[in-house]
Structure 1
Amino acid sequence: MRTHDPFRLLLAFHLPGAEIVYHIDDAGTTALQIQGPDGSWARAPLTGEGTGTVTYGGDPGLWARVEDAWRWWNDAGRPSHDRFGYVREADGAARVWYISDGTSWAVPAHG
């Protein structure tokens, strides 16, 4: 299940405030579930390298953002964790960036 941990890290950048969890249904099928801060969710079964049916509730755009992140990760050559950096500016603003091309994402403030 941990095959794509670097992608899960990237999802955190693309979906700030969302939770990424594993869901196991009554039949024992495991799925990756994204839970948005607004209550929306999207679930995709983990079927190896194959594809499964995505189910969702609430905002259908939640899964579209997952697909955008997947495309970016694949286009970038599936970078590992060590290809990302973190910086916190003097004003408290924080960003994570992809070292190879400077693509960056804001890190939301917690408080």
Structure 2
Amino acid sequence: MLTAATIRAHYPLRLVLAFHLPGVELVYYADEAGTALQFQRDDGSWARVPLAGEDTGVVTYGGDDELWKQAEAAWEWWNSVGRPGQDRFGYARGADGRAYVWHLPDGAVWHLPV
């Protein structure tokens, strides 16, 4: 199960989450309660993972719960391939301007928004 503590402890996982959540923007968010990493989509769905401050153990979310299910699927993939660090990914931009990232050992590819 994906938890706030897991996301805080594994910076490379944040990179994987960015690739696995198409159409989701990852934003660092700070308010009086502390600092958080927020996943947000244009449809208003969001999930907030506290990184520092009070209540760092609870992930909150609103809107479509599919967003967090996708995050958990990314966590499962990351575990299944041995929790690779950022040095196990490549990045390229094609002549047409499209960008993508791939997992070097197995060739999994994620197309990035332009």
* TM tier, smaller: 0.7 to 0.9
Give the Cα–Cα distance (whole angstroms) in 2 for the partners of residues 55 and 2 of structure 1.
15
Q: TM-score, structure 1 length as denominator?
A: 0.74
Give the Cα–Cα distance (whole angstroms) in 1 for the partners of residues 36 and 100 of structure 2.
30
* Cα RMSD, aligned residues only: 2.7
SS at match of 2:90: strand
Alignment coverage as a number of residue pairs: 105
Q: Is it true that 1:86 corresponds to 2:91 in the alignment? A: yes
Aligned counterpart, 1:20: 26
Between 89-98 and 64-73, the greater mean CA deviation after superposition? 89-98
Q: TM-score, structure 2 length as denominator?
A: 0.72
Q: Which runs of 5+ in 1 are unaligned?
A: 47-51
Aligned counterpart, 2:65: 60
Q: Which runs of 5+ in 2 are unaligned?
A: 1-6, 52-56
Q: Which structure is higher in strand share?
A: 2
Aligned counterpart, 1:49: none
| Offset at residue 85 of structure 1 (A) | 0.2
| Offset at residue 11 of structure 1 (A) | 1.0
Amino acid in structure 2 at the alignment position of 1:62? L
Percentage identity across aligned positions? Answer: 61
Residue 33 of structure 1 is aligned with which of 38, 49, 62?
A: 38
Q: Which structure is higher in helix share?
A: 2
| Offset at residue 94 of structure 1 (A) | 1.7
Give the Cα–Cα distance (whole angstroms) in 2 for the partners of residues 21 and 88 of structure 1.
23
